[in-house]
Amino acid sequence: MTSAKAVEPTLLLAFNFPPHGGGIARMMGEVARRYPPKSLVVSTGQYADSATFDASLSQLVDRVGIRATRLRTLPGLVRWSRRAHQLVRSHHPGFVWCAELKPAGYPARRLAARHELPYGVMLHGTELLLLAHKASRSRWRRRVAGALLADAAVLVANSQWTADRARAVLQAVGRPEAQQRVEVVPLGTEPAQFRPGLDPREVRGRYGLEGGPWILTVSRLEWHKGIDTVIEALVRVRARVPGACYAVAGVGRRAELEALARAAGVGDAVRFLGFVPDGDLPALYNAVDLYVGVSRYHELLVEGFGISLVEASASGLAVLGGRSGGVPEAVRDGETGLLVDAEDTAAVAAAITRLLEDADLRRRLGAGGRRAVETYFNWNRVTADLRRIDATHRRRQSSAAAP
């Protein structure tokens, strides 16, 4: 009797993958955990502490023998492409996921040409703004952008806003036929990890979050994140809520933002926490009263979705989001939080004040956010969507990998 043919695995090409930090890496790690055991082959770069994370997965993680940061270089891409070819010959995957357009799209496109192996690209938002800007200035870059995007079997956007940007880029680079390949998969978080009711006392003491009420932002310290707007708004907020303080978790342009807080006269009310490890984040959300993420469009940077927004919702916090990019898809206005013009400091201040003064409203929005995460904005649903797309576009099993 002939045994059933084994299901071909999926190959994941990821520049961003744990233990590397950031939202894309976190997403890739969570998706890898939820694919069926041994059904995913991950190709990524080296980090000093990679082995511990890799051992926690039921998937094969193949680390290209160079530092992950070098995968962006030309020699790194050549080496990554060769290794990916070897993985295809060894494991015969039926589909390839790219964790990001660049650099993962380059080896994926070579695999498609050499092995007729379909690939999908996960799109996050900001890279499309940069791509459109560069393509508008260079015919060669326009051709490269068109090839990487249009040769993909599917383009998965993290929000409808990102999907619209992808379609606009495809139109601009002369590949409108690929617009129908864009699909939307909004992101999520893990409701068992991020949840209300955690004891915040240890984290509150370690990070110096006494008094309050406390507002929180978790993000890179970059201008498009709107942290400067919240600092300026805090002056007006404290006129109504004198004890209000602002905690900022993340690294980046800290010195500039600290100087801004001092100049605004709220230096003592703004606490920069620096890098906060993932293990501390659930309790940190429980240690504050309100989450604020008023990101905006700034110098070709914008929030394509905002994982920290749904982490806060999962933790039972009311969320104030900026009405820009994909944020309105992560924050349901009036249900899980409020949306505000992120460029309007007075409007941001008024919304923060309203939420701090109205505990019932905060509780209602926080409960709505928790329900939204339990029912939709979670990694189980995200992975199910990605597996459905994978199954739809993968190569037929009868096709053999090219030698």
CA atoms within 13 A of residue 237's CA, in its CB half-sphere: 31
Per-residue confidence at 329, pLDDT binned at 50, 70, 90?
Answer: very high
Mean pLDDT within 313-331: 96
Per the CB < 8 A criterion, the answer to whether 268 and 234 are in contact is no
Q: For residues 173 and 145, is the Cβ–Cβ distance under 8 A?
A: yes
pLDDT at 301: 81
Model pLDDT, residue 297: 86
Share of the chain above pLDDT 90, in %: 78
The torsion angles phi and psi of 8, rounded to 5 degrees, stand at: -70, 135
**Inter-axis angle of helices 359-375 and 307-314, to 10 degrees?**
110
What's at 186, amino acid-wise? P
Give the model confidence (pLDDT) of 81-124 as tens digits.
999 999 999 999 999 999 999 999 999 999 999 999 999 999 99
The average pLDDT across 20-38 equals: 91
Q: What's the Cα-to-Cα distance from 7 to each of 111, 138, 403, rounded to whole Å?
A: 19, 43, 20
Q: What is the DSSP string of 106-145?
A: HHHHHHHHHH---EEEEE-SHHHHHHHHHHTT-HHHHHHH
> Average pLDDT in the 307-320 region?
97
Q: For the ranges 48-52, 311-315, 342-346, which has the lowest average pLDDT?
A: 48-52
Give residue-wise pLDDT tens across range 350-394.
999 999 999 999 999 999 999 999 999 999 999 999 999 999 999
- Provide CATH 3.40.50.2000 ranges for the chain: 10-188+379-393, 201-375
Answer for the pair 188, 376: CB distance below 8 angstroms, yes or no.
Answer: yes
Q: In CATH, what class is 201-375?
A: alpha beta
Q: Has residue 399 got a pLDDT over 70?
A: no
Rounded to whole angstroms, the Cα distance separating 211 from 208 reads 9
Please name the residue that has the structure tokens 């051992």.
55
pLDDT averaged over every residue in the chain? 92
Q: pLDDT band at 398, cuts 50/70/90?
A: very low
8 A C-beta contact, residue 323 and residue 244: no
Q: Is the predicted pLDDT of residue 143 greater than 90, yes or no?
A: no
| Percent of the chain residues topping a pLDDT of 70 | 97
Range 10-188+379-393 classified under CATH 3.40.50.2000: yes
Spatial strand order of the sheet with 10-13 comes to 60-67, 40-46, 10-13, 95-98, 119-123, 154-157, 182-184
What whole-number distance in Å separates Cα of residue 309 and Cα of residue 175? 34
Helix axes 227-240, 254-264, angle to 10 degrees: 30
The pLDDT assigned to 160 comes to 95
> Does position 347 have pLDDT exceeding 60, yes or no?
yes
pLDDT in tens, 128-141: 888 888 877 888 88
What is the model's pLDDT at position 142?
82
Mean pLDDT for the stretch of residues 228-250? 96
Sheet order of strands, 337-340 included: 270-274, 245-249, 214-218, 290-293, 319-322, 337-340
pLDDT digits (tens, 9 = 90+) for 163-221: 999 999 999 888 999 999 999 999 999 999 999 999 999 999 999 999 889 999 999 99
Range from 1-5, 53-57, 238-242, 251-255 carrying the lowest mean pLDDT: 1-5
**Which string of b and e fits 155-181 if b means at least 16 CB within 10 Å?**
bbbbbebbbebbbebbebbebeebbeb
Tokens 């979050």 label which residue?
209
**Per-residue model confidence (pLDDT) at position 247:** 97
Q: pLDDT by residue (tens digit) across 290-301?
A: 999 999 988 788
